[in-house]
């Protein structure tokens, strides 16, 4: 059941309207490990919990404008915390559960956070490393109980059950002004300290409603979203939390990324929102399995993708009918349906955002019948700027701008945008705010783009992520890295060469695929020295260049440093959204980089 837009003046108003409209409908599902079963929570029960949490917030003496932080996995508690805080005029500060402790301490300190909610013992133990930097916190609430004998206690620490004990009350609704600050979301920047993006109720509501205007007629209360992209990420928060609330859809919280395949099978979602990395993992698994199939099976799979892709182009009005389309019902039954069944069998739409989707991956999934829609946005824009539509889907593009969102190309081919979704500014950082938003209100995305005659936006590069070789050649590494990472052998890759005579790459190999390659090459996969053999490097370089065959002449990787140790969030080489921190990787592997350029054979 859709809601009356005139009554949606704030995010708490959105929640109240949804509860009033469908009190008995299931809002969320989660897995209860103690009962070993999936449990459902209706909207009325959510409202009861929000009222309890609000009483607990008031007990702490918190006032409108105070900042409160949450460091939880996606869960009902995340939503309850957010709605309880917003309904009292508090400002929510989401934290990534896998972020480095020093980063968490920096955000808590810089934002002046007064209350922090954590998952339990594991997160509490990690925060002990920076406990001296959390002095500004007046209360720390743990969802699961932390026993005194487990970890050093803190008088500020209280279990959620104890914190809520004996409390109850109706949902309180302080009428926040639509332009009032709702949340501070810290960007997981690949360079330097993160910046706090200030988003108002209006920023987020406008974006969710603009998204609903595009997709709302395709969504209903019968839809089921599977939520696994962190709610700390604005794509999941807007499109996987507020949007389902707008349209009355149900949300299922996945147990973990590791259990995602099983959750897809068991919960059979109709809507999936993700970042390219998840689709890349599924693609790599499919390619790895295909490599071990018979030539006949591989040809059948490739034929299914090719025919399915042609069918998609016909549906989009970009290709004519061909006799081979008559094969689709058979290929669908033999190939496509089996792959789709592993995704639950009920997916109606899959949305991809957060980074560029490699064209080969989009072609495979769309060819197999999955309506994959790529979009584009940033935390600073609440976040969606553009998205493809089911009836106007050009996978190489990031689609058309949402209604009411202006876009244009500025100097250096930079994409600029202006709309009510653009942030209020950066928390306590006027200089950065002025650099990002010009006097006319245009937000500078930092991404290079082009816009075709039909209004479709194509992201072509990142202004600051351009490699300039000593011969003056300018190389955008992101597209090359996406293409290289399609090889199942390669889990992570970073193309390098700034101020150097040629391009090289730092490569993290997949252990299972490396074991197979090592056997082919006659080397010991467990001996680190094998990775330094020149003929091993050449074999990997040959596979890399095969992936770059259709790139311009600049795309030649002459050297590669091979490793089996993945870059992680914990070691500071990835952001919480799994983007590579290029400067940090270069610093960590400085000696290896120098060796690549000194030892040219």
Topology match between the domains 24-31+38-176 and 467-598: no
Sign of the torsion formed by the C-alpha atoms of 361, 365, 366 and 372: negative
pLDDT along the chain (601 residues), means of 10: 82 96 97 94 98 97 97 97 97 92 92 96 87 92 80 82 94 86 83 84 97 86 94 94 96 93 95 85 86 92 97 96 96 95 93 83 94 94 96 95 97 96 96 94 94 94 77 76 91 90 93 94 93 94 90 82 92 82 90 83 49
Count of other CB atoms within 10 angstroms of residue 331: 24
* Torsion (CA) 457, 459, 460, 463 in degrees, nearest 10: 120
| 492 exposure class (CB count in 10 Å sphere: 0-12, 13-18, 19+) | buried
Tokens of 301: 């799979």
First to last CA, the chain: 67
pLDDT at 151: 59
* Per-position DSSP letters for 91-143, written without gaps between them: EEEE--TTS-HHHHHHHHHHHTEEEEEE-SHHHHHHHGGGGGGGTT-SEEEES
Cα–Cα distance for residue pair 228/260, rounded to 1 Å:
8
Burial status of residue 295 (CB atoms within 10 A of its CB: 0-12, 13-18, 19 or more): exposed
Per-residue pLDDT reduced to its tens digit, 164-192? 999 999 998 877 789 999 999 998 654 45
Find out whether 388 and 316 touch, Cβ atoms under 8 Å: no
Asked whether 539 and 517 are in contact (CB, 8 A), the reply is yes
Cβ 115 vs Cβ 60: under 8 Å: yes
Handedness of CA 94, 98, 99, 100 (dihedral sign): positive
User: CA 258, CA 272: separation in Å to the nearest integer?
Assistant: 16
Q: What are phi and psi of 301, to 5 degrees?
A: -65, -50
Question: Residue 536: how many CA atoms within 13 Å on its side-chain side?
Answer: 25
Return the SS3 of 148.
coil
Q: Rounded to whole angstroms, how far apart are CA atoms 390 and 378?
A: 22
Distance CA 558, CA 463 (A): 24
- What is the pLDDT, as a whole number, of residue 599? 62
Q: Three-state DSSP class for 407?
A: strand
If one counts every other C-beta atom within 10 angstroms of the C-beta of residue 191, the result is 9
Sign, Cα dihedral of 275, 281, 286, 288: positive
Cα→Cα distances 186→63, 159, 232, 386, 575, Å: 22, 26, 9, 22, 11
Quote the crossing angle between the two packed helices 359-367 and 295-315, to the nearest 10°: 90
Per the CB < 8 A criterion, the answer to whether 558 and 565 are in contact is: no
Which DSSP category does 551 fall into? S
Q: Which residues contact 138 (CB under 8 A, 6 or more apart)?
A: 60, 114, 115, 156
Q: Enumerate the domain spans of the chain.
A: 24-31+38-176, 467-598
Distant-in-sequence, close-in-space partners of 420: CB < 8 Å, separation ≥ 6:
202, 203, 206, 404
Residue 303, SS3 per DSSP = helix
**pTM score, two decimals?**
0.83
User: Which among 478, 516, 521, 518 has a CA at the least distance from the CA of 496?
Assistant: 478
Answer for the pair 417, 406: CB distance below 8 angstroms, yes or no: yes
Q: Is residue 265 a contact partner of residue 344, using CB atoms and an 8 Å limit? A: yes
Q: Is residue 556 classed as helix, strand or coil in its secondary structure?
A: coil
Evaluate whether 349 touches 271 at the Cβ level (below 8 Å).
yes
Q: Are 514 and 525 in contact (CB under 8 A)?
A: yes
Domain range 467-598, CATH class: alpha beta
Q: How far is CA 81 from CA 123, 196, 249, 414, in A?
A: 18, 20, 20, 38
The answer regarding whether domain 24-31+38-176 maps to CATH 3.40.50.980 reads yes
């Amino acid at each position: 059941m859709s809601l009356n837009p005139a009554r949606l003046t704030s995010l708490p108003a959105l929640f109240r309207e949804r509860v009033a409209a469908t009190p008995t409908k299931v809002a969320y599902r989660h897995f209860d490990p103690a009962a070993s079963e999936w449990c459902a929570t209706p909207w009325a029960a959510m409202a009861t919990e929000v009222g309890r949490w609000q009483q607990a917030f008031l007990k702490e003496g918190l006032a409108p404008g105070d900042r409160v932080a949450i460091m939880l996995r996606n869960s009902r508690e995340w939503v309850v915390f957010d709605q309880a805080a917003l309904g009292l005029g508090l400002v929510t500060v989401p934290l990534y559960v896998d972020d480095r402790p020093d980063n968490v301490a920096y955000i808590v300190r810089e934002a002046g956070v007064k209350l922090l909610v954590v998952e339990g013992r594991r997160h509490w133990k990690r925060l002990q490393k920076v406990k001296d930097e959390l002095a500004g916190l007046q209360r720390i609430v743990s969802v699961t109980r932390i026993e005194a004998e487990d970890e050093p206690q803190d008088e500020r620490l209280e279990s959620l059950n104890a914190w809520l004990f004996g409390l109850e009350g109706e949902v309180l609704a302080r009428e926040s002004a639509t332009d009032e600050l709702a949340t501070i979301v810290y960007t997981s920047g690949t360079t330097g300290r993160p910046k706090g993006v200030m988003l108002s109720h209006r920023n987020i509501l406008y974006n969710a409603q603009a998204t609903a205007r595009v997709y709302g007629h395709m969504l209903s209360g019968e839809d089921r979203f599977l939520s696994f992209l962190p709610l700390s990420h604005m794509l999941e928060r807007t499109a996987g939390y507020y949007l389902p609330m707008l349209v009355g859809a149900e949300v299922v919280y996945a147990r973990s990324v590791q259990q995602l395949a099983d959750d897809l099978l068991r919960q059979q979602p109709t809507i999936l929102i993700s970042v390219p990395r998840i689709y890349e993992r599924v693609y790599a698994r499919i390619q790895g399995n295909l490599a071990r199939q018979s030539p006949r099976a591989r040809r059948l799979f490739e034929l299914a993708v090719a025919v399915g892709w042609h069918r998609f182009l016909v549906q989009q009005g970009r290709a004519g009918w061909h006799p081979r389309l008559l094969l689709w019902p058979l290929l669908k039954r033999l190939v496509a349906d089996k792959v789709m069944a592993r995704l639950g069998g009920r997916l109606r739409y899959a949305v991809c955002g957060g980074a560029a989707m490699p064209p080969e991956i989009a072609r495979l999934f769309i060819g197999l019948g999955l309506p994959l829609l790529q979009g584009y946005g940033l935390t600073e824009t609440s976040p969606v700027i553009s998205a493809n539509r089911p009836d106007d889907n050009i996978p190489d593009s990031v689609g058309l701008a949402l209604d009411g969102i202006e876009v244009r190309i500025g100097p250096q081919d930079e994409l600029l945008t202006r709309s009510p979704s653009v942030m209020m500014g950066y928390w306590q950082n006027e200089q950065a705010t002025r650099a990002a938003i010009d006097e006319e209100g245009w937000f500078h995305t930092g991404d290079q783009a082009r816009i075709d005659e039909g209004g479709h936006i194509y992201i072509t590069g990142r202004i600051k992520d351009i490699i300039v070789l000593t011969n003056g050649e300018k190389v955008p590494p992101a597209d090359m890295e996406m293409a290289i990472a399609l090889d199942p052998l390669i889990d992570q890759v970073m193309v390098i060469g700034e101020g150097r005579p040629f391009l090289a790459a730092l490569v993290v190999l997949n252990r299972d695929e490396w074991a197979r390659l090592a056997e082919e090459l006659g080397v010991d996969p467990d001996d680190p020295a094998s990775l330094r053999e020149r003929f091993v490097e050449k074999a990997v370089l040959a596979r890399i260049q095969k992936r770059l065959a259709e790139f311009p002449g600049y795309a030649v990787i002459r050297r590669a440093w091979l490793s089996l140790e993945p870059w992680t969030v914990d070691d500071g080489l990835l952001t919480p959204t799994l983007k590579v921190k290029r400067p940090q990787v270069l610093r960590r592997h400085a000696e290896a980089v120098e060796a690549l350029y000194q030892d040219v054979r």
